[in-house]
Structure 1
Amino acid sequence: MKRFKSALALAGLLSLNAQAGTWSPTSPAPMSYGADAIMRLRGTGEAMIVGLGFVQRYNPYTDTWRITSPMCAPGMCNNPMLTEFPSGKVLAISRAPGRMGGEVRLSTYLPETDQWAYLTQGFQVYRMDPAITLLPSGRALVTGGYHYPGLPPRATALSSVEEFDPVTETWTLLPGQMLTARSFHRATVLYSGKVLVTGGYTSDYQPIASAELYDPATGTWTAAGTLSHPRGSHQAIRLGSGHVMVLSNSQEGPSEAATAVDIYDPYNQRWYAGPALPFTQPSSATLLTTNEVLVTNNSGQAALYSPSQNAWQLEPSSSPSSYLRPAVLLYTGQVLFMPGNQLRAERYTR
């Protein structure tokens, strides 16, 4: 019986000695700060790193850095969410310090001119910490979030949905609403063009287990099943197969919920359990050109998911970070990380 249990515990985990990738430092960056967000610019292939309002761009072909125009005054646009449109224009949703969560800032960036500009029109419904995703139409879909509708101030999760037109730089409030009001959730575009929304938090800051689908063609929302555990501020990534992997949640510490992996099958509209992650609190999940998924956490732990074997493989550890560790896939096939308060970024090479 003990041998059987041990075999089950190791199911889904490949040989720990068969590490596939390596880590290497980049040349020193000109500014040392934790990265709030990283984005690959499609026009140049550079990585744009934003932190505390400062912006620097990394060229993976020459291993060189350059400081570019700041997004805002230092410290006045925190936790940006970046979305790039087919034209190359970038939309940034951030927050300035202030009461009740701060003030939402909406701005755009043109990489070819290196210029930032604040939008003249804000959300139709004021919201913080929504989910944003790029639709096949070239517009951005913003769902949910929360706001403070009255006094005394109390955070209230939202179910309303808006679209952003990058040409006119205007927001349109859509008539259809999510089935469940949520913030800190994830929205993932499927190959069909539909959007899968997972998890999030209620107005009482309780994690949510439900999922739902948005059809841009009809503007309707339908239920899409339930995750194995309630999740908020989690990771969700579309695999090469079109399935969606969801991992991590609001729980901390080693537990079944903290390492559980849910996978959504859009073709049969069902959820199934993936192999448990070999560590907790993942801070990034990146789809590689091999269709494998690299997952890391702030402790520097890394694991590689093989879809063909439906298994995880522990990878060499990178530098730990006390700060958020966002990641981006470069056109070179490497994954770039910017650990907090370090001059050197790191690249993972498969």
Structure 2
Amino acid sequence: MAFVAFLFLIISFLSLKDRTIALASSSCVSQSNNVEFTLSTASHSASNPTSSCSLQQCNITSSDNLTCSLSPTPCFNYRTANNISYCAPAIHCPVLQPCNSVTSTCASNDSVCIVNSCCSPTAVCLPLLTTNFCIREILTKDHLVLFIRFLLLGWSMTASMIVGRYGHTASTLLDGKVLVTGGYGSSGNLNSAELYDPSTDVWTQTGNMNVARYRHTASTLLNGKVLVTGGAGSSGYLNSAELYDPSTGVWTQTGNMSFARDLHAASTLLDGKVLVTGGFGSSGYLNSAELHDPSTGVWTQTGNMNVARDVHTASTLLNGKVLVTGGAGSSGYLNSAELYDPSTGVWTQTGNMSFARDLHAASTLLDGKVLVTGGFGSSGYLNSAELYDPSTGVWTQTGNMSFARELHTASTLLDGKVLVTGGYNGTIAWNSTELY
């Protein structure tokens, strides 16, 4: 158990290398300032002598419904302006950004405003990532095995889909569920769709699409609906598009794209429009891009990419730009990446990935980085994963998936984890899923 705790602390420090976490009865240094958190004589509390403040330490039988037990790091009770509690380790205030003093909110969606921290009277933004370090459930022996596996690999198995499929899409809905659509399975092209509920680890069927398709795209719109575009079907390359309404489970058709394309990519922009890029059509590899306006259902063309490519990914970054990665082109597998600026319609090149890959998946994480997983390259099917940092334009490798797979999907969940579903490994259509 001590070894597990040691691993947990090491990983915690590595993943928060720009923030300082202080254990009880120990000191740390941040921005040339020393701070020490010590367990006080009062029951279930901790104090920081340098700022004369105290925090209630979380416990198993908390009377305020706050339970953060069995974490190797002592966890404390942080509260918001509307009296919501969060469990997190003691944190040195100078590393945190101040909240908006009027609205008690944070500019970043991955932080929460804390008003009664040791940074009082200044309200600060507590990164939600730090709250994940305080386990909210009692671990059984079986849980501990899974916990150790999570520490060592970063991935864990979850419930299987109802239908094995590849070349499908997965979209995180506004209620946190994940919608999987279409693809190719044992019966051929699929128009079926199913929903995954992360809170129960259960899959359920929902309404079928109007058109059976695979190698299409699906984008969650700001109004909560999902836009599916293009792909391949019984009639060949498709330019059709349709909308899914989560409130009814019904699909309706919308305006067609300017070009029939499959193996393309799509991204929902911060203004609500959807950018579709590249793919393959009757003329071969495409570098064209077009925009869908949900308010009108109309498509308009925008600037072309620098490289014609298909089976690539496109991810909307927190700064509003779109990152396109890899794919295949006339020169073979690609490791190149480029950025689209919606304000100008112009594409610029950025750092190359560590591996040339196509048929991979990409997810924008809550910290703004982009996780790229799997795909196919010169060495065959890939289980490798790497992270792109928009602040530097640099890629770094991270933990490998349990299975090598292509034509899978990867969805960022509301708790910050990434759900990978399905895919193909050269032999079968996977129905396996795993979490990063």
Q: Please tell me the TM-score bracket, short chain as reference.
A: 0.5 to 0.7
Counterpart-to-counterpart distance in 1, 2:369 and 2:304: 25
1:243 equivalent to 2:321? Answer yes
2:217 matched residue in structure 1: 131
2:362–2:371: 8 Å Cα contact kept in structure 1?
A: yes
Counterpart-to-counterpart distance in 2, 1:229 and 1:178: 20
Counterpart-to-counterpart distance in 1, 2:213 and 2:401: 35
SS across alignment from 2:260: coil
SS across alignment from 1:162: strand
1:97–1:103: 8 Å Cα contact kept in structure 2?
A: no
1:96–1:104: 8 Å Cα contact kept in structure 2?
A: no
| Equivalent residues in 2 for 1:75-224, closer than 5 Å | 75=164, 77-94=165-182, 95-98=184-187, 101-110=188-197, 116-119=203-206, 121-149=207-235, 156-174=236-254, 176-203=255-282, 206-224=284-302
SS across alignment from 2:334: helix
- Write the deviation string for residues 277-336 of structure 1: whole angstroms up to 9, x where unpaired: 343116343434442334454656554433233x32443674785423765556776667
Higher relative contact order (CA 8 A, sep 6+): 1
User: Structure 1 counterpart of 2:214, which letter?
Assistant: M
Q: 1:232 to 1:117 in 2, by over 3 A?
A: same
User: Structure 1 counterpart of 2:285, which letter?
Assistant: P
- Write the deviation string for residues 209-251 of structure 1: whole angstroms up to 9, x where unpaired: 1110111122211111211222111111111211001011224
Stretches of structure 1 lacking an aligned partner (at least 5 in a row): 1-19, 23-44, 46-57, 150-155
1:305 matched residue in structure 2: 388
Q: 1:162 to 1:345 in 2, by over 3 A?
A: closer
**Between Structure 1 and Structure 2, whose CA radius of gyration is higher?**
2
2:172–2:411: 8 Å Cα contact kept in structure 1?
A: no
User: Structure 1 counterpart of 2:194, which letter?
Assistant: S
User: Structure 2 counterpart of 1:267, which letter?
Assistant: S
Taking only the aligned residue pairs, the percentage that are identical comes to 30
Counterpart-to-counterpart distance in 2, 1:319 and 1:65: 9
SS across alignment from 2:356: coil
Q: 1:61 to 1:159 in 2, by over 3 A?
A: farther
TM-score, normalised on structure 2? 0.53
Q: 1:337 to 1:122 in 2, by over 3 A?
A: closer
1:71 matched residue in structure 2: 161
User: Structure 2 counterpart of 1:97, which letter?
Assistant: S
Measure how far apart 1:90 and its partner are: 3.6
User: Structure 1 counterpart of 2:260, which letter?
Assistant: A
TM-score, normalised on structure 1? 0.64
1:323 matched residue in structure 2: 405
Counterpart-to-counterpart distance in 2, 1:65 and 1:246: 27
Counterpart-to-counterpart distance in 1, 2:190 and 2:412: 31
2:157–2:435: 8 Å Cα contact kept in structure 1?
A: no
2:221–2:227: 8 Å Cα contact kept in structure 1?
A: yes
Measure how far apart 1:131 and its partner are: 0.8
- Write the deviation string for residues 132-178 of structure 1: whole angstroms up to 9, x where unpaired: 111111111111122223xxxxxx2111111111112111111x211
Stretches of structure 2 lacking an aligned partner (at least 5 in a row): 1-13, 17-131, 133-144, 375-380
Counterpart-to-counterpart distance in 2, 1:65 and 1:300: 14
1:278–1:312: 8 Å Cα contact kept in structure 2?
A: no
Q: 1:135 to 1:72 in 2, by over 3 A?
A: same
Q: How many residues align?
A: 276
User: Structure 1 counterpart of 2:388, which letter?
Assistant: Y
Measure how far apart 1:187 and its partner are: 1.2
Counterpart-to-counterpart distance in 2, 1:281 and 1:248: 6
Measure how far apart 1:186 and its partner are: 1.2
User: Structure 1 counterpart of 2:288, which letter?
Assistant: S
